[in-house]
Amino acid sequence: MYQTVKPKNDSVQSDCGVCPIKRRAVCAYCEAQDLVELEKIKSYKTYAPGEMIIWTGDDMRFVGSIVSGVASLSQTMEDGRRQMVGLLLPSDFVGRPGRAKAVFDVEAATEVTICRFDRKPFEQLLVKLPHLSGRMLEMSLDELDAAREWMLVLGRKNAREKIASLLSIIARREGELHKKPLRDGAEFDIKLTREAMADYLGLTLETVSRQINALKKDGVISLQGKRHVKICDCVRLMMETGNDDDGGMVI
């Protein structure tokens, strides 16, 4: 478990014109007049690392977009077993229009800033603004594909393949962000603890630790500290994922 940190309530002000995620978020297709409507119901909030953004069962007063940082979407069983079901990165959508109660926990893995929209009026805008609902549908379908890809990882891959899959996904997304293709020597920070990685992969944290160090020992990756990874052999990493094609990952 993570430590729980007191929420910061500092409201940030920002302008859609300089928003870092404006080309990929739910509002990406909105035009100036649409944005005016959205701005009326918009507020920003920043969460500290480890802070719970939403608890399962909470009333969902807002939905929104991750502006910066990394959050996790997860489910917990009575006895404490936990499964992460989504990794929320900048531009990803939080919350479910049409649902009043949260069915998943959302937790800030790093410091996270969210552009929040009041849920009820947002739902009305979904009906009113085709640009908004169109992008919403597109994003939902992409997430659905990503979830299904991940089901293969959870159901059929062994521990080593799971770790390789996670690393390749993080590396790929990092690459997208910096517009660099994935290549030997690519470096990035894993913004997750071993435990969070285990929760994503359906493993124990001990197994995660062992397999990461095995990949290091085999020269597929190298580590600086615990969280900073360099991909030594990119093709090898893709082979280790067990995937036939290396372009098929949807996340």
Partner DNA sequence: CGATATGTTGAACATTCTCAAGGGATGTGG
Partner DNA sequence: CCACATCCCTTGAGAATGTTCAACATATCG
Of 50 and 242, the one with the shorter C-beta distance to a copy of itself is 242
Q: Return the residues of window 86-105 that contact a copy of itself according to CB under 8 A.
A: 86, 96-98, 103-104
- Does the protein bind a copy of itself through residue 154 (CB under 8 A)? yes
Of 10 and 244, the one with the shorter C-beta distance to a copy of itself is 244
We find the least distance from the C-beta atom of residue 92 to a copy of itself, in angstroms, to be 12
- Does the protein bind DNA through residue 195 (CB under 7 A)? yes
- Does the protein bind a copy of itself through residue 243 (CB under 8 A)? yes
Q: State the binding partner of 226 from DNA, a copy of itself, none, CB within 5 to 8 A by kind.
A: DNA
Other Cβ atoms less than 10 A from the Cβ of 60: the count is: 18
- Does the protein bind DNA through residue 204 (CB under 7 A)? yes
Q: 31 CB contacts (<8 Å, ≥6 apart)?
A: 131
We find the least distance from the C-beta atom of residue 86 to DNA, in angstroms, to be 20
Contact 250, 149 (CB under 8 A): yes
- Does the protein bind DNA through residue 237 (CB under 7 A)? no
Q: Return the residues of window 46-85 that contact a copy of itself according to CB under 8 A.
A: 73, 75, 77-79, 81-83, 85
Contact 190, 227 (CB under 8 A): yes
Query: Contact positions toward DNA, by CB under 7 A?
Result: 1-3, 50, 158-160, 193-195, 202-210, 212-213, 223, 226-227
